[in-house]
Amino acid sequence: MRLLFSIGAVLVAGMFAGGGIAAPGPKFESSRNQPQRLAADKDAQTVDVELILAVDVSYSMDMDELAIQREGYAQAIQSKEFLQALKLGPNGRIAVTYFEWAASSDQKIIIPWRLVDGPETADAVAAEIMKTPIRRASRTSISGAINFAMPLFDEDPYRGLRRVIDISGDGPNNNGGPVTVARDAALEKGIVINGLPIMVKEPSYSTMDIDNLDFYYEDCVIGGPGSFVITIKDRDKFKEAIRTKLLMEVAGRTPERPVMRVADKEPRVNCLIGEKIWSDRWGR
């Protein structure tokens, strides 16, 4: 798109620089330059990806995990690897927003849309992430997070070549609408959803954890071209996994063994398993 506009600008300039055409007066000059200015403005707002970081803060996450999670995102955005990947993109910049979620009506934006185009803006975003007090809240609504995220793209002043929602969490959807309905609505809009299932603890009755949360994310949460899951199974690998995921999203890459979604494939897990556990346990 940038190439198209720059060629147009050259052609317009050449028409008046080739001789035989009188230079326009001041009023016409303003009109003539307007397409160039509009093209430049649009080009300045184009980013490689609009990235929404949707981060789980439900009570099943302990305070240490929440602190490591925050530090992981802040350090990843500041990392040398991230900044190198950023510069390799066609525009060399991304737009990012960061919000935390729990129940279907509980989402809090920590970082509004911010442009990241180098070390200074990356440091500023990292500082914003770290300065907000850590909180926890009840229930787990992945569908609520996706539904909250979708309209945020319309509020973004930048326009990305890709639109990605990055969902991290340590349990299945147990509140709000079915996660597959929200996922499919996002996919219809051309949005890609990636997942970071957190599996650092043994499944527990008290926290509604499930076995094979990574399968649940693959079959029920993620979707879109190149979508992928990176699983955290070791607390010591928490920050590394976050950094790897962000690098891939910025670079538009997928893991060596990407998840392949097949329309007629039977899910390995019940996508309503979280709702079923909640209903069986509390009768509602």
The DSSP result for 35-87, as a single string, is: HHHHHHHHHHTEES-EEEEEEE-BTTS-HHHHHHHHHHHHHHHHSHHHHHHHH
Query: What distance in Å separates the CA atoms of residue 131 and residue 122, rounded to the nearest whole number?
Result: 14
Length of the chain: 284
Tokens of 252: 């538009």
Q: What pLDDT is stored for residue 162 in this prediction?
A: 97
Tokens of 178: 């079915």
Query: What distance in Å separates the CA atoms of residue 259 and residue 222, rounded to the nearest whole number?
Result: 9
Extract long-range pairs of 236-239: CB within 8 Å, 24+ residues apart.
Answer: 238/65, 238/68, 238/69, 238/72, 238/198, 238/200, 239/68, 239/71, 239/72, 239/75, 239/76
Count of other CB atoms within 10 angstroms of residue 162:
19
Average pLDDT in the 107-114 region?
97
* 107-121, 151-165, 250-264: least confident range: 250-264
Average pLDDT in the 19-47 region?
48
Task: Measure Cα distances from 34 to 3, 9, 44 in Å.
Answer: 18, 10, 15
pLDDT at 29 over 50: no
Task: Measure Cα distances from 248 to 16, 82, 84, 147 in Å.
Answer: 45, 9, 12, 24
Nearest Cα neighbor of 161 from 192, 196, 187 is 192
Task: Measure Cα distances from 92 to 4, 75, 163, 251, 270 in Å.
Answer: 18, 19, 16, 10, 40
Q: What pLDDT is stored for residue 22 in this prediction?
A: 37
Q: What pLDDT is stored for residue 232 in this prediction?
A: 92
pLDDT at 12 over 50: no
DSSP annotation string for 161-180 = SSEEEEEEESS---SSS-HH
Position 136: which residue type?
R
> What is the pairing mode between strands 192-197 and 163-169?
parallel
For the chain, report the end-to-end CA distance as a whole number of angstroms.
Answer: 51
Average pLDDT in the 51-62 region?
93
Q: Which single residue is written with the structure tokens 């996922």?
A: 183
Q: What pLDDT is stored for residue 278 in this prediction?
A: 81
* pLDDT tier for residue 1 given thresholds of 50, 70 and 90: very low
